[in-house]
Structure 1
Amino acid sequence: MITYRDARTIDGPALSAMARRSFTETFGTLYRQSDLAAFLDQAFGANGLAAQLSEPDFAIRLALADDQIIGFVKMGPVTFPGEWRPDAIELYQFYVLSPWHGSGVAQEMMAWALEHARSHGAREVILSVYVDNHRAHRFYERYGFRDIGRIAFRVGETVDDDNLMRLVL
């Protein structure tokens, strides 16, 4: 049985481990080991994802199976360079472990993310997605997200292209 709840600070280590696993299973073959390790430490180390659990600007929703984190979505203020509407919100990370792809977890978490955005007065949701992550592109497009540009995404010393996407609520 899959359950959903808001993340708590005590979830930090388990959430970071799940995020590392998910990123590595999805993108691990694209990068040199040193680049991947640097990114994982920066994004999911002690000062990354786990530290944001206690920051009031961020909201993180978890999907759990047998009390194990199998997915999460993180929302917060827009940090991409450029001019953004004051009522925009960013969807930072949206990860589901591969055994649960196609199980409805992603749809449930997207429903939460969009409701969270609306209930906090957001009029648009902004996200970035790796240009070659076609599965994620199709998923976001089903919800009405549209490409609005490109942005550099750094993984260690490697710089990738991400598409910026926007959904007007």
Structure 2
Amino acid sequence: MTCLSDVRPADAPLIATLFEQSFVEAFGHLYAPEDLAAFLATKTQADFAREIGDPTFHFQLASRDADPVGFVKLGPPDFPVETPPATIELRQLYVLDRATGQGFGARLMDWATAAARATGARHLQLSVYIDNHRARCFYERRGFTAIASYKFMVGNHADEDLIMRLAL
């Protein structure tokens, strides 16, 4: 059975593990080992615990038969672009390879959109790797439009990401 659940402070190690595993599955082949290791070192359990305890962040965990397979995180906007008032950022949406294509991303995105509206946000923005065509199409089908690009750093490696925004 598929379910979504709130994330608690005790879930920080799980969220950190899900992040690392899903990021490496999706993008690990793109980077030199030292760049990937440097990037992952900036996403610690302590960082996730701090964000989980911060009321400006909102998390949701996706599981299948009590097996955690993904999560989504909303937070304050942090992109190098002018941001309209009442904007929230979809900071992370990750699903493990073994659960990709099974509707988890869609359910997490539905939750994120509803949660963004519940905070009073009028805009939801995110970034996506320019060559991640599957994710770009997913966001475009949901009404997101590209507004800018920026350099997303993974260690010393710079990727081009698109910043996309949705009016809520």
One fold, TM greater than 0.5? yes
Query: What is residue 105 of structure 2 aligned with on the other side?
Result: 106
Query: What is residue 8 of structure 2 aligned with on the other side?
Result: 8
Distance in structure 1 (CA, Å) of the matches to 2:82 and 2:146: 16
How many pairs were matched up? Answer: 168
Distance in structure 2 (CA, Å) of the matches to 1:10 and 1:49: 10
> Superposed, which structure 2 residues align to 1:1-169 within 5 Å?
1-43=1-43, 45-169=44-168
Letter in 2 for 1:50: A
Q: Structure 1 length normalisation: TM-score? A: 0.95
Letter in 2 for 1:161: E
Letter in 1 for 2:68: I
Distance in structure 1 (CA, Å) of the matches to 2:110 and 2:81: 27
Secondary structure of 2:138's match?
helix
Deviation at 1:14, TM superposition (A): 1.2
Q: Which runs of 5+ in 1 are unaligned?
A: none
Q: Deviations over 1:92-147 (max 9, x none)?
A: 00001111112111111111111111111111111000010001001001100011
Structure 1 residue ranges (4+ consecutive) displaced by more than 3 angstroms after TM superposition: none
Cα 1:99–1:46, aligned 2, differ >3 Å: closer, same or farther? closer
Supply the RMSD in Å over aligned alpha carbons.
Answer: 1.1
Secondary structure of 2:73's match?
strand
Distance in structure 1 (CA, Å) of the matches to 2:92 and 2:34: 22
Distance in structure 2 (CA, Å) of the matches to 1:30 and 1:132: 11
Q: Structure 2 length normalisation: TM-score? A: 0.96
Distance in structure 2 (CA, Å) of the matches to 1:17 and 1:85: 33
Q: Which runs of 5+ in 2 are unaligned?
A: none
Contact 2:12–2:46 (Cα < 8 Å) also in 1: no
Contact 2:88–2:116 (Cα < 8 Å) also in 1: yes
